[in-house]
């Protein structure tokens, strides 16, 4: 047992001296006969699925959220309870992570729309979020739009389509 403790402290010392230790996680398990080390190199399985997997993970961690994978929309639970309040919808391209999805909940966003990495969400997905939220909303929807060209364009198209349907929708551009 003394040998294992000595070897374990030596191995941990060697792992912490590596230059890439800052960017990786170290998992180790101690068995009576050996110590296993595995270094994690990345948190992303595939770049093409990063946004979908991130939103799925969020909905898995918070099962009360509703996630529509086909449109990359995260909706808050109990939208029908907020029918006398203005609903907020935000979204945008997923640069480092889908930022707006973390703000969906009571007293915050009613829905978040995520685009692909460094690309604005399509107006079709934004229209879907507006339609879902407006099913239960009598007072109107405020769209919080990041001040990027693609976001302003696609959110503007979706807002115009919603206004043609007779929905009360306003937009506010923000610098996030």
Burial of 112 (C-beta count, 10 Å sphere; 0-12/13-18/19+): buried
Question: Does 99 have pLDDT greater than 90?
Answer: no
Residue 97 has pLDDT above 70, yes or no: yes
Domain assignments of the chain as residue spans, ordered by start: 7-42, 47-174
Confidence check: pLDDT of 169 > 70:
yes
| Rounded-to-integer distance, Cα 150 and Cα 168, Å | 23
Give the CATH number of domain 47-174; options: 3.40.50.10440, 3.40.50.1390, 3.40.50.261, 3.40.1710.10. Answer: 3.40.50.10440
Report which of residues 36 and 107 the model is more confident about: 107
Look at residue 38 in the predicted model and tell me its pLDDT: 57
Q: Residue 81 — very low, low, confident or very high, per pLDDT cuts 50/70/90?
A: confident
Q: Is the pLDDT of residue 6 over 50?
A: no
pTM: 0.75
CA distances (Å), 98 to each of 55, 91, 148, in order? Answer: 7, 8, 15
26-60 pLDDT, tens digit each: 444 444 545 555 565 667 778 888 899 999 999 99
């Amino acid at each position: 047992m003394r040998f294992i403790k000595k070897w374990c402290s030596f191995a941990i010392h060697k792992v912490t001296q590596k230059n890439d230790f800052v960017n990786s996680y170290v998992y180790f398990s101690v068995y009576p006969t050996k110590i296993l080390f595995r270094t994690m190199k990345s948190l992303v399985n595939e770049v093409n699925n990063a946004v979908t997997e991130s939103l799925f993970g969020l909905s898995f961690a918070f099962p009360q959220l509703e996630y529509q994978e086909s449109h990359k929309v995260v909706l808050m639970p109990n939208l029908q309870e907020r029918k006398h309040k203005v609903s907020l919808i935000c979204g945008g391209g997923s640069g480092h992570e889908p930022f707006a999805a973390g703000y969906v909940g009571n007293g915050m966003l009613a829905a978040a729309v995520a685009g692909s990495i460094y690309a604005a969400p399509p107006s079709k997905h934004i229209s879907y979020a507006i339609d879902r939220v407006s099913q239960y909303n009598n007072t109107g929807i405020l769209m919080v739009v990041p001040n990027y060209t693609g976001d302003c364009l696609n959110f503007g198209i979706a807002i115009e389509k919603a206004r043609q349907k007779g929905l009360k929708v306003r937009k506010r551009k923000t610098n996030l």
